Structure 1
Amino acid sequence: MKFLALLQVEWLKMRKTTIWLLALISPALATAIAYGLGDPHSPRPWIDSFYGMVIPHGVLFLPLLAGVYSAFVCRFEHLDGGWKQLFAFPVTRIKVVLSKFTIVMGLLFINQVLIVAGLFVVGMIKGFPAPFPWEVLLKSTMGGLAACIPLCVLQIWFSCIWSSFAAPFTIAVVFTLPNMLIANSEDFGPYYPWVQPFLAMIPEGGGFIVSTATLWSVIGISSVLFAGFATVYIKRKVF
């Protein structure tokens, strides 16, 4: 079975659920916060409002959604021997997991796009002066998305280990809650997967002192390590 066919299968399973509604919650709340904080007379109205959106979205919702999406795309296979039925087809385990990872990243991409759209709407309503800072916002939102890669790999790995939806979701909640405290730590922040998306989304001058080189080095190395360990586990696991 080709990879595109696997994506179509995952898409069909997701399309019949209400998981899509979760993609609207964080952008809607962040947009409401930006509307309340938005001041067209501030020196940087677009960036200041965006920073107000990044705090709840990046600190809380983005890592939680990565955990929820990861657990959700694996729950179907945990029901009634779904893994065995799936692997009965001519398909490799790695392609199956990679298709699930792609769906999770796609959902998070929608979240990030809606964040930018929400800020644009707020700016139009509030009368923020032109130009719209596309370059800064795309760098921030897509940076936050890229920083989700090791976290998504980790959460999908957990979701393959435990058949219960609650277990990987609980892990996401427990490790997301300390984010604000850890984000303020220059020593620990860059190494904590659940806070990395937030740190990657912070616009310059956001007040968090983090080495960009260290952050992205850790994200890259941890992505490779987590993917390697997860691959070995999935290949050896008896479903």
Structure 2
Amino acid sequence: MIKTLQMEILKLKRTNIALMATIIPLFAVFQGAMFVSSNNGQLDFDLWNTLFIGSMSQFSSLIFPITITVIIAMITRVEHSGNGWKQLLTMPVKREDVYFLKLIIGIFTIIYSVFIFCIGMIAIGIWFGGNDSIPIHLMVVRPFIALIASMPVIAMQFYLSFRFSHIGIPLAFGAGLSLPSMLIANSTKYWIYYPWTYPIVSTMTETFGVGEKGWIMYSICFVSFVIIISAGLLRFRTKDIL
């Protein structure tokens, strides 16, 4: 399994996945910097909170779901192109190992992207003169809560990226469902049915009150992740890819 992991990492080094995972979340940081600049000087100005709202509103509603979509699609695209599945699965490796290794690599790449977002926010805050103690609960904890809340999105994008060889299908699916997420998050009745709103309502709790639906949301996150990943594994094991 270690050799398979090394092989997967080597293949990804030939792609731009690390570059994309680094650059995309910085767009949200840039948005936060613009938000700070436009609000700087107001009487009730709070640098760190303003930076968080400006960055996280963009990150959780659009940038992060798109980051997940791009990362997962690029990981599977390596095999979809150039008869990669045929070459990979003729080797003495278990399909389960291939499936879960790609999932693990995808999740760790997404974690790296969240880390870049956190570092970017902290750097911008210091650059704007944030001499007070850095609010870790905003700059670090909340972004990683977004990661947990995105488990259904990760699972669905992973399934679609394996299911369809054309990269445009998972990309269109992920981007298309991300666009109305902020609008739906404003609905106290319907947001719970739309997993793309989970990163928003779980991180911007002062704006979107989760209330008693919080435990329902996180239960859906874990249960749907297990179900979708298991369904994907079953299909991957039985589907004739060769």
Q: TM-score of the superposition, structure 1-length normalised? A: 0.89
SS in 1 for 2:137: helix
2:100 aligned partner, one-letter code: L
What pairs with 1:45-124 in structure 2 (closer than 5 Å)?
45-124=47-126
Q: CA deviation at 1:43?
A: 5.7
Q: CA deviation at 1:199?
A: 2.7
SS in 1 for 2:195: coil
The answer on 1:232 being equivalent to 2:234 is yes
CA-based RMSD: 2.0
Distance 1:27 1:173 in 2: 15
Aligned to 2:35: 37
Q: CA deviation at 1:68?
A: 1.4
Deviations 1:139-176 (A, max 9, x none): 21111112222212211111111111111111112211
Aligned to 2:209: 209
Q: Percent identity?
A: 27
Deviations 1:67-122 (A, max 9, x none): 11111111121223321221222222222121111122122112211111112112
Distance 2:4 2:112 in 1: 20
Aligned CA distance change for structure 1 residues 62 and 236 (closer, same or farther; 3 Å): same
Q: CA deviation at 1:60?
A: 0.9
Aligned CA distance change for structure 1 residues 107 and 227 (closer, same or farther; 3 Å): same
The answer on 1:131 being equivalent to 2:129 is no
Aligned to 1:25: 23
The answer on 1:189 being equivalent to 2:187 is no
Q: CA deviation at 1:179?
A: 0.8
Aligned CA distance change for structure 1 residues 182 and 119 (closer, same or farther; 3 Å): same
Aligned CA distance change for structure 1 residues 97 and 72 (closer, same or farther; 3 Å): same
Unmatched segments (≥5 aa) in structure 1: none
Deviations 1:37-87 (A, max 9, x none): 224864642122112101111111111121111111111212233212212
Distance 1:125 1:119 in 2: 10
C-alpha contact 1:63 1:195 (8 A) present in aligned 2: no
Unmatched segments (≥5 aa) in structure 2: none
Q: CA deviation at 1:223?
A: 0.9
Distance 1:228 1:144 in 2: 22
Q: CA deviation at 1:21?
A: 2.3
Q: TM-score of the superposition, structure 2-length normalised? A: 0.88
C-alpha contact 1:190 1:218 (8 A) present in aligned 2: no
C-alpha contact 1:30 1:53 (8 A) present in aligned 2: yes
Distance 1:87 1:129 in 2: 54
SS in 2 for 1:144: helix
C-alpha contact 2:33 2:54 (8 A) present in aligned 1: no
Count of equivalent residues: 235
Q: CA deviation at 1:231?
A: 1.8
